[in-house]
């Protein structure tokens, strides 16, 4: 949650104050907006708030949310992971392929998939933390490399629903106490990480590294290790997302998850994880994913042409960034006001 | 980015005094450093690719082949030139592919509505400038990070393209237009758009490397604060660069429509990644302050050659994508390793180690 | 320091490379490869640089890296390359099987190459490079009818036979187009299946297509809409057409969207093998009452016929499509046909031995669409 330090409230224009409040309580405002949006759309098309629709939206959003949580960790350390979509795609395909060829049984295959994600994330971590390659460049490279690996393994094949074990994809639609299992998994993961970020030393170190890497190093924090672990975690979570992706979609080929990096980063941005690092929460990223999923769904339900989706997406990202920008200005202004 | 000097990726980053050669090195180290200059390495790579290509495929050296591979990357190469400038000042513009798509869609729409083609082309290029202006204002006036602003406009402009043209593909352009896009200069295998690229490269190269404007761009990239305090109008320059990028991207979109003899809203999809790859491969430091136009040109050529050689030998596209990714990583890895070696060398000789700077 | 000189070296080097290109290479020029002119002859206004020779067979290249298939070799004169819309699509793999069979029978070579994504800008370089490599024939399923035309025309100018299959390039940019079936028949069949699956042949139906610019799907949809105007379909209402871009995820999301937006939907018609599979999966998993039909591969759809989600759908024999396309290419290369309307030829094993006739616009039709249902679904394997 981004905090504006000591704004001088007296002379602020109204809009700016609203903007500041929105930015401050990003998670809450997202929630409120979703409620309002939901009400408006439901008025037009009641099936929007039907159980089946909400299940569908939240299930798909849960997958993105998990990947976004990992991405948030990386962004908070002032890096970025562009290769996340390739990791998801590669894991999704490998798991599906292993199940189709009956090389492993379901639990083993899922574990292997998550492990693969971890490995890929560690690869990124090595490139950035050990070899000092800027994250944009390194993950741009691994974006291509990992995707290329997926294509190599696929060899043009795809794995279809029929080839998967019976009931494998049903897990994506299973519910527990009325909530979709995927959503519960996502919530559990996000809550765990969120607590770890707040309560543990490593969690605070992540924020420290992102806020001011030089100071962090001087303070004795092992910056490189923290960054490595952030990337590894992002890879792990992308692996989880990849396994879930396969369960959800059934038919998987090597192009799985192409383009999802935009969604994941957008989810982080909308959720208040600022791109300059050191701020934001995984909960925000998760909510951001849900928010974007809601908007997509609302557009479809309202029967707006699918060609409007992209533009609205872009608009939402810009609004979110603008809100972030307001915080930045408050920060700078209040910093310059405090002549220490 | 914007007002924050440290960009994402700060682990690798600390801004440092700029060593063009390892301090304390002797003459031989300097020579080594000179030959390790990125552009020379790129040239070697290009030559190597040509040699490999000629060896493995008898048809590689056919003039038509060169014409083809150059033609295929023209739009991307053209967009990479302003992108290089933008990255040199420490920003980035991810929206170029969508601007190209928007321009193409608008072109198709206007042409279909009966607007004369020259007018439509001008309109599209102007719209590109407006799009760039929008990006630039958000980055300079509102102070928002260019990475996310252009991420947003990447989606927004593509969406606008889809809204304008929908699923249609407009064809039936006059043959002068399409032959400019697709054809070759008579008597040579050189595609017409290459002239545009050449002109742009020469102009921007000259401005960047020979004029005070260029020096200011490098200054902004190397140390924003210092540049500002020296009176350089940083915001204005950045704004102009974004406008340039948008305009050129729109032009590229028009060229795409000409080459394909068809305007669609999904043209240029995926090109941003290629453009950024070319710029980075060309030796432009992602944090700004360093890079050459020649490097970017060589990188575009290298990438085109790579794709061509692989296709001519029926090597699958997967290998190509792995190769490109690998090339990109190696392009930053090697200079880093080189610098560490240089540091280790210098330390062994007893000279005080230089504070290592980032990137090539 | 030195940088200036190095920059100059680099600049000179770059120029040299382009000069190299313009001059057509050093003395070691490959045999007769100058017959390819890039795109120079595609349009009348630009003069071509070199005269077009008849293409000689390029010699086998020495020591190639391990590649998916071999370079065009000198043995036999029949070297055919298939360039589908995209290579990770089982539909095109099925066609490739048939083509390989034909190649084995005729003693020719068969290669399939193509892009990962079904976009014209990715397909064009493959066509151009295939032209440079000097195959005897290029068989292509065009991602964009107009976009690939100049490259195909350049190939034809270089003496390469061009055969279209599955999705037609613009008329004139090919020698023969092998159409899997009469387009208007597909439209009619789609309408008929929708009618059969909708209760009382009435209710809302929707279309889930491939990419928005695919010429074949758009033609089929147009014909279907025309067919729907017929009286017998008066009670069917086509509410929306969405595009899944031949991507399993996008198709799934669009299918889900249809189910959510139109609670009264009765049938989803998907004239694309990727779309029909995705839609059927979605319907199955949601336990919806909606029926799915369209064009699908039997192996994919078998389980959905069995669980009654897709009791009826259709296609044609995709391997036969590849088989026929290869034969047509062979006939063109050997000069037995030229692609002019009115010519006839026979291909053993197809059409019950009856001769095919080349129709208007140099189109050959494989046969009528075939309906799959519970009775016959077990008989096929592709």
At A28-75, the pLDDT tens digits run: 778 888 888 888 888 888 878 888 788 888 999 999 999 999 999 999
pLDDT recorded at residue B17: 38
What is the distance between the alpha carbons of residues B181 and B175, in angstroms, rounded to a whole number? 10
Question: Is there a contact between A151 and C243 if contact means CB atoms under 8 Å apart?
Answer: no
In which residue ranges of chain C is CATH 3.40.50.2300 found? 4-181+317-379, 183-314
pLDDT recorded at residue C163: 95
| Four-CA torsion A222, A224, A226, A230, nearest 10 degrees | 180
Tell me whether B167 touches chain A (CB under 8 Å).
yes
The single-letter DSSP state of residue C78 is -
A202: left (phi over 0), alpha (psi -120 to 50) or beta: alpha
Helix (H, G, I), strand (E, B) or coil at B73: helix
Residues A252-284 as b/e (b if ≥16 CB within 10 A, e otherwise) read: bbbbbbbebbbbbbbbbbbbbbbbbbbbbbbbb
What is the distance between the alpha carbons of residues B275 and B252, in angstroms, rounded to a whole number? 12
Measured over the CA atoms of residue B279, residue B284, residue B285 and residue B290, the dihedral's sign is negative
pLDDT recorded at residue A21: 63
Residues of B in contact with A278 (CB under 8 A): none
What's the token pair of residue B271? Answer: 């090109």
The residue ranking higher by pLDDT, A129 or B15, is: A129
Question: Is there a contact between A314 and B11 if contact means CB atoms under 8 Å apart?
Answer: no
pLDDT recorded at residue A17: 67
Kindly report which listed range (A112-121, A236-245, C60-69, C291-300) carries the lowest average pLDDT score: C60-69
pLDDT recorded at residue A126: 95
pLDDT at A114 over 90: yes
What residue spans of chain B are helical by DSSP H? 27-35, 38-56, 63-88, 96-112, 117-140, 146-165, 175-182, 193-210, 212-222, 224-229, 234-260, 271-281, 293-312, 317-348
Question: Is there a contact between B322 and A149 if contact means CB atoms under 8 Å apart?
Answer: yes
> Which chains does C contact via 3+ CB–CB distances below 8 A?
A, B
Beta bridge partners of B184: B191
Residues of A in contact with B158 (CB under 8 A): 310-311, 314
Q: CA of B147 to nearest chain A CA: how many angstroms apart? A: 8
- Mutate one of C122, C248, C287, C299 to test the A interface: name it (highest A CB count within 10 A): C248
Among A288, A295, A301, A257, smallest CA distance to A52 is for: A301
pLDDT at A127 over 50: yes
Q: Are C30 and C6 contacting, i.e. CB atoms less than 8 angstroms apart?
A: no
pLDDT recorded at residue C177: 93
Range A26-322 classified under CATH 1.10.3470: yes
pLDDT recorded at residue B245: 97
What is the distance between the alpha carbons of residues C273 and C251, in angstroms, rounded to a whole number? 11
Low-confidence ranges of chain B (pLDDT < 50): 1-27, 35, 355-360
The CATH code for residues C183-314 is: 3.40.50.2300
Residues of A in contact with B358 (CB under 8 A): 132, 134
Q: Secondary structure of chain A in the HEC alphabet? A: CCCCCCCCHHHCCHHHHHHHHHHHCHHHHHHHHHHHHHHHHHHHCHHHHCHHHHHHHHHHHHHHHHHHHHHHHHHHCCCCCCCHHHHHHHHHHHHHHHHHCCCCCHHHHHHHHHHHHHHHHHHHHHHHHHCCCCHHHHHHHHHHHHHHHHHHHHCCCEECHHHCCCCCHHHHHCEECCEEHHHHHHHHHHHHHHHHHHHCHHHHHHHHHHHCHHHHHHCCCCHHHHHHHHHHHHHHHHHHHHHHHHHHHCCEECCCCCCHHHHHHHHHHHCCCCCCCCCCCHHHHHHHHHHHHHHHHHHHHCCCCHHHHHHHHHHHHHHHHHHHHHHHHHHHHHHHHCCC
Residues of B in contact with C243 (CB under 8 A): 167
The single-letter DSSP state of residue C147 is T
Q: Determine how β-strand C137-140 pairs with β-strand C161-165.
A: parallel
ipTM greater than 0.85, yes or no? no
pTM of the model as a whole: 0.81
In whole numbers, what is the pLDDT of chain A averaged over residues?
85
Of A52, A156, A169, the CB nearest to C93: A156
CATH architecture of the domain with residue range C4-181+317-379: 3-Layer(aba) Sandwich (3.40)
Q: Are C261 and C54 contacting, i.e. CB atoms less than 8 angstroms apart?
A: no
- Mutate one of A139, A264, A275 to test the B interface: name it (highest B CB count within 10 A): A275
Q: Are B279 and B150 contacting, i.e. CB atoms less than 8 angstroms apart?
A: no
Among C243, C125, C104, smallest CA distance to B70 is for: C125
* Tens digit of each residue's pLDDT, chain C (382 residues): 445 555 555 555 555 554 444 443 333 333 322 223 333 233 333 333 333 333 333 333 333 333 323 333 334 578 999 999 988 778 898 899 999 999 999 999 999 988 877 888 788 889 988 988 889 999 999 988 888 888 999 899 999 999 999 988 988 899 999 998 887 788 888 998 999 998 888 899 999 998 877 778 888 898 899 888 888 888 889 998 998 888 888 898 889 888 888 888 999 999 998 899 999 988 988 888 899 999 998 888 888 998 889 889 988 888 899 999 999 999 999 988 888 888 888 888 787 778 888 888 889 888 888 888 888 888 777 8
Residues of B in contact with C58 (CB under 8 A): 58-59
pLDDT recorded at residue C12: 54
Q: CA of C200 to nearest chain A CA: how many angstroms apart? A: 26
Beta bridge partners of C345: C356
Q: Are C123 and C155 contacting, i.e. CB atoms less than 8 angstroms apart?
A: no
> Which chains does A contact via 3+ CB–CB distances below 8 A?
B, C
Q: CA of A306 to nearest chain C CA: how many angstroms apart? A: 8
Confidence category of residue A304, pLDDT binned at 50, 70, 90: confident
Residues of A in contact with B147 (CB under 8 A): 80, 275
Tell me whether C83 touches chain B (CB under 8 Å).
no
């Amino acid at each position: 949650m981004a905090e504006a330090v000591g704004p001088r409230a007296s002379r602020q224009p109204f809009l700016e104050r609203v903007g500041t409040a929105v930015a401050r309580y990003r998670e809450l405002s997202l929630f409120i907006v979703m409620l309002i949006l939901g009400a408006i759309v439901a008025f037009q098309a009641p099936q929007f708030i039907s159980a089946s629709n909400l299940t569908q939206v939240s299930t798909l959003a849960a997958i993105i949310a998990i990947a976004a949580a990992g991405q948030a960790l990386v962004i908070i350390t002032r890096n970025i992971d562009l290769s996340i979509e390739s990791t998801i795609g590669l894991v999704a395909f490998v798991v599906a392929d292993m199940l189709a060829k009956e090389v492993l049984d379901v639990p083993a295959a899922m574990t292997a998939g998550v492990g693969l994600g971890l490995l890929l994330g560690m690869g990124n971590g090595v490139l950035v933390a050990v070899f000092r390659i800027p994250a944009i460049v390194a993950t741009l490279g691994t974006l291509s490399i990992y995707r290329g690996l997926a294509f190599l393994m696929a060899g043009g094949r795809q794995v279809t629903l029929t080839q998967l074990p019976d009931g494998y994809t049903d897990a994506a639609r299973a519910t527990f106490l009325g909530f979709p299992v995927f959503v519960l998994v996502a919530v559990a993961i996000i809550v765990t990480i969120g607590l770890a970020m707040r309560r543990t030393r490593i969690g605070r170190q992540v924020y420290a590294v992102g806020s001011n890497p030089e100071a962090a190093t001087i303070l004795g924090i092992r910056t490189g290790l923290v960054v490595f672990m952030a990337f590894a975690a992002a890879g792990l979570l992308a692996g989880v997302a990849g396994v879930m992706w396969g369960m959800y979609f059934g038919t998987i080929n090597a192009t799985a998850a192409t383009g999802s990096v935009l969604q994941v980063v957008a989810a982080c941005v909308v959720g208040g994880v600022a791109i300059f690092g050191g701020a934001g929460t995984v909960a925000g990223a998760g909510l951001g994913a849900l928010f974007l999923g809601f908007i997509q769904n609302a557009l479809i339900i309202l029967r707006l042409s699918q060609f409007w989706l992209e533009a609205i997406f872009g608009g939402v990202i810009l609004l979110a960034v603008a809100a972030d920008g307001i915080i930045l200005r408050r920060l700078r202004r209040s910093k310059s006001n405090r002549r220490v | 980015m914007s007002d924050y000097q440290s960009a994402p990726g700060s682990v690798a980053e600390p801004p440092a005094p700029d060593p063009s050669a390892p301090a304390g090195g002797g003459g031989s180290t300097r020579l080594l450093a000179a030959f390790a200059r990125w552009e020379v390495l790129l040239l070697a790579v290009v030559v190597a690719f040509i040699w490999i290509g000629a060896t493995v495929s008898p048809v590689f050296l056919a003039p038509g082949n060169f014409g083809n591979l150059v033609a295929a990357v023209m739009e991307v190469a053209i967009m990479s030139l302003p992108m290089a400038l933008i990255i040199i000042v420490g920003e980035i513009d991810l929206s170029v592919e969508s601007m190209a798509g928007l321009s193409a869609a608008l072109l198709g729409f206007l042409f279909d509505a009966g607007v004369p083609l020259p007018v439509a082309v001008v309109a599209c290029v102007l719209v590109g400038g407006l799009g760039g202006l929008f990006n630039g204002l958000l980055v300079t006036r509102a102070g928002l990070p260019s990475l996310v602003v252009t991420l947003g406009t990447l989606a927004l402009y593509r969406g606008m393209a889809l809204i304008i043209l929908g699923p249609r593909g407009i064809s039936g352009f006059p043959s002068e237009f399409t032959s400019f896009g697709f054809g070759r200069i008579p008597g040579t295998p050189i595609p017409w758009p290459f002239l545009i690229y050449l002109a742009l490269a020469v102009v921007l190269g000259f401005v960047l490397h020979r004029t005070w404007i260029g020096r200011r761009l490098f200054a902004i990239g190397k140390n924003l604060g210092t540049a500002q305090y020296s009176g350089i109008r940083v915001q204005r320059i950045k704004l102009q660069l974004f406008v340039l990028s948008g305009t050129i991207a729109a032009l590229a979109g028009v060229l795409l429509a000409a080459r394909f003899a068809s305007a669609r809203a999904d043209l240029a999809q995926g090109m941003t990644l290629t453009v950024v790859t070319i710029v980075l491969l060309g030796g432009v430091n992602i944090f700004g302050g360093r890079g050459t136009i020649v490097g970017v040109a060589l990188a575009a050529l290298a990438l085109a050659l790579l794709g061509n050689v692989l296709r001519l030998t029926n090597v699958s596209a997967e290998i190509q994508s792995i190769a490109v990714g690998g090339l990109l990583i190696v392009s930053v890895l090697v200079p880093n390793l080189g610098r560490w070696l240089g540091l280790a060398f210098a330390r062994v000789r007893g000279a005080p180690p230089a504070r290592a700077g980032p990137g090539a | 320091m030195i940088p200036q000189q190095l920059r100059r070296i680099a600049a000179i080097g770059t120029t040299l490379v382009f000069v190299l290109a313009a001059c057509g290479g050093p003395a070691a020029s490959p045999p007769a490869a100058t017959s390819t002119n890039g795109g120079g002859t595609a349009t009348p206004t630009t003069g071509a640089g070199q005269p077009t020779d008849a293409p000689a067979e390029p010699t086998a290249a020495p020591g190639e890296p391990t590649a998916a298939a071999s370079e065009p070799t000198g043995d036999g004169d029949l070297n055919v390359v298939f360039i589908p819309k995209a290579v990770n699509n089982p539909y095109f793999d099925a066609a490739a099987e048939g083509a390989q069979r034909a190649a084995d029978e005729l003693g020719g070579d068969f290669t399939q190459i193509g892009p990962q994504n079904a976009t014209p800008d990715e397909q064009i370089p493959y066509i151009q490079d295939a032209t440079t490599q000097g195959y005897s024939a290029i068989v292509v399923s065009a991602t964009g009818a107009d976009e690939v035309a100049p490259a195909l025309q350049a190939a034809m100018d270089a003496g390469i036979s061009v055969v279209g299959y599955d999705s037609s390039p613009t008329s004139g940019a090919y020698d023969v187009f092998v159409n899997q079936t009469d387009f208007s028949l597909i439209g009619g069949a789609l309408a008929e299946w929708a009618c059969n699956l909708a209760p009382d042949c009435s209710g809302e139906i929707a279309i889930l297509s491939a990419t928005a610019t695919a010429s074949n799907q758009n033609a089929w949809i147009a014909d279907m809409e025309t067919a729907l105007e017929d009286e017998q379909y008066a009670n069917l209402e086509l509410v929306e057409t969405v595009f899944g871009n031949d991507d399993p995820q996008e198709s799934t999301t669009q299918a889900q969207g249809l189910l959510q937006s139109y609670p009264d939907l009765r049938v989803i018609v998907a004239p694309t093998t990727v779309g029909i599979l995705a839609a059927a999966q979605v319907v199955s998993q949601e336990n919806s009452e909606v029926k799915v039909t369209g064009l699908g591969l039997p192996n994919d759809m078998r389980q959905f016929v069995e669980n009654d989600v897709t009791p009826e759908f259709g296609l044609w024999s995709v391997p036969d499509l590849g088989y026929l396309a290869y034969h047509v290419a062979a006939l063109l290369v050997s000069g037995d046909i030229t692609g002019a309307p009115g010519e006839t030829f026979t291909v053993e094993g197809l059409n019950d031995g009856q001769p095919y006739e080349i129709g208007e616009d140099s189109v050959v039709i494989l046969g009528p669409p075939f309906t799959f249902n519970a009775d016959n679904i077990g008989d096929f394997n592709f």
